[in-house]
Amino acid sequence: MHSADLLSRRAQLTPHREALVEIETGQRYTYAHLNTRANQFANFMLELGVCKGDRVSILAQNSLIYMDMFYGVGKIGAIFAPLNWRLTLKELAYIVNDLQPKILLVGPEYTALAEELRTLTNIETLVSLPDALPDTTLADAVPYAERHPRAATAEPPRPALDPDDPYCILYTSGTTGNPKGAMIPHRQILWNCINTVISWGLTEHDVSPVFTPLFHAGGLFAFLTPILYVGGRILLARGFSPEESLRWIIAEKCTVILGVPTLFQMWRECPAYATADFSPVHFFINGGASCPVELMAAWRKEKGVIFRQGYGLTEVGPNCFSMTDEESEPKSGSVGKPIFHSEMRLVNPETGAEVGPNEPGELLIKGPHVTTGYWRNPEATAKSLVDGWFYTGDTARRDEDGFYTIIGRYKDMIKSGGENVYAAEVESAVREHPAVAECALIGKPDEKWGEVGLMVVVFEKGKTVTEQEIKDYCDGKIARFKIPKEFVFTDALPYSPYGKVEKVKLKEKYLG
């Protein structure tokens, strides 16, 4: 069985059960309806000449069309390759040129961006999604609203599929400035479903909202695919509104809820929070960035809920650990024990030797839920995957009871509002400013975003520049969420004997 069969098989088992509610429209869809739409998407793509291995991309906000596309491409062996609409034109152009998608679906908000993108890339076919804004219709684009409904509803012919065949390519920021396309094979999606269902105790009665973008592994795989696998129900949101999302969570009696620290803080500040009835909720789980223990404790005290900390990566899936309800409070701050079908090791990153209990080490993960590597990047693949072990770059420790706690990142990265921000990429953009001689990015704890970037800057001799001028300079070169929130200016950076900036010293100086 491959991931291409997941929706087809579920639609056979429970065709008339409600599978998805689209929050923006209020429309409700059964499993049979979702599967029919996915079949139509697959047949639509075949009409456009899409074959096994072809990449199909989308630049759009969350909508039902993501469901059509995700399950549809899998049926014909094509590759789902969504684009992050928060990126700049330059960043998107790099990814598109690396991917070389045969098809790009474009949402109404991004038609102008797509027209610019087309001049920098070689996209074969554009498909315009419904609700195009005035004067933004893409020239020569295939209209989705006309072609998709006319496509055949029968299951498309299936190509031969291997468990290691790529189903998705999801791009993650690169430590050297260029993003890498993590290849998500069919087996990884299937085993993420299996691991999540059996390790987290999901059932057909579970209801979960998806507020995170579907170009993220968290949006796709934290709850959406596992819950549709087990026969539960998903609420799909186009974007995030604290008040509206709380209203839907309560009205639909959601049972398992994923968020990032920013969302949990926003919900807590909503007027509706005080009277919100969370009794149907089995548990809340935080992902994307570490959640302050104080924030989790406040939710438990004020609302009497189960609150867990999660951990995952695009390359290994968003759900790598688990714990019981009873363990969630005494082990608060821990991500739990490894999921069922997975192996974990903690090693000294310098020697490769395994570390003992309560000693920090780099987290290594092995199992059927691990990536096959990076798209067209054998060098990065060889560095990250060794003998089946994926080197996460994250530092963790394991206590005597076998519970893991993530304590930092061996790779130089911060997580802000659930987004990965690699220091090298941001530092490279800032250093291009003619007044900047040197710079170093560190993560500063932030109540709302989890972490924000703090950039330490050394000026070129005889030159100065303001914080706002550097921010304005970076705008358009890197995505806005990557631009540091704060800058400090100093005479020199501390360097090690090996020529590396000693960021520990910077953190001691500026963060205490």
Q: Which domains does the chain have, with CATH numbers?
A: 10-15+30-161 (3.40.50.980), 191-409 (3.40.50.12780), 413-511 (3.30.300.30)
Predicted confidence at residue 112, as pLDDT, reads: 92
**Stated pTM of the model:** 0.86
Name the nearest CA neighbour of 88 among 96, 100, 80. Answer: 96
Predicted confidence at residue 332, as pLDDT, reads: 93
Predicted confidence at residue 357, as pLDDT, reads: 95
Report helix, strand or coil for 440: strand
* Alpha-carbon gap, residue 42 to 153, rounded angstroms: 9
Name the nearest CA neighbour of 78 among 142, 155, 154, 158. Answer: 158
Please answer whether residues 22 and 33 qualify as being in contact, where contact means their C-beta atoms are separated by less than 8 angstroms: no
Predicted confidence at residue 287, as pLDDT, reads: 86
To 10 degrees, what angle do helices 64-75 and 6-13 make?
110
pLDDT along the chain (512 residues), means of 10: 91 98 96 98 98 98 97 98 93 96 96 94 93 64 96 97 97 72 98 97 98 94 98 96 95 96 89 96 89 89 96 95 96 96 94 93 96 97 96 92 85 80 84 90 90 94 94 92 95 71 88 86
**Tell me, what DSSP letter sits at residue 188?**
H
Residue 274 CB coordination number (10 Å): 9
H/E run at residue 194: helix 186-200
Predicted confidence at residue 195, as pLDDT, reads: 97
* Alpha-carbon gap, residue 255 to 229, rounded angstroms: 16
HSE-up of residue 206 (Cα within 13 Å, Cβ side): 24
Predicted confidence at residue 498, as pLDDT, reads: 43
Predicted confidence at residue 139, as pLDDT, reads: 79
The tokens describing 18, both together, are 């409600």
Residue 391 CB coordination number (10 Å): 19
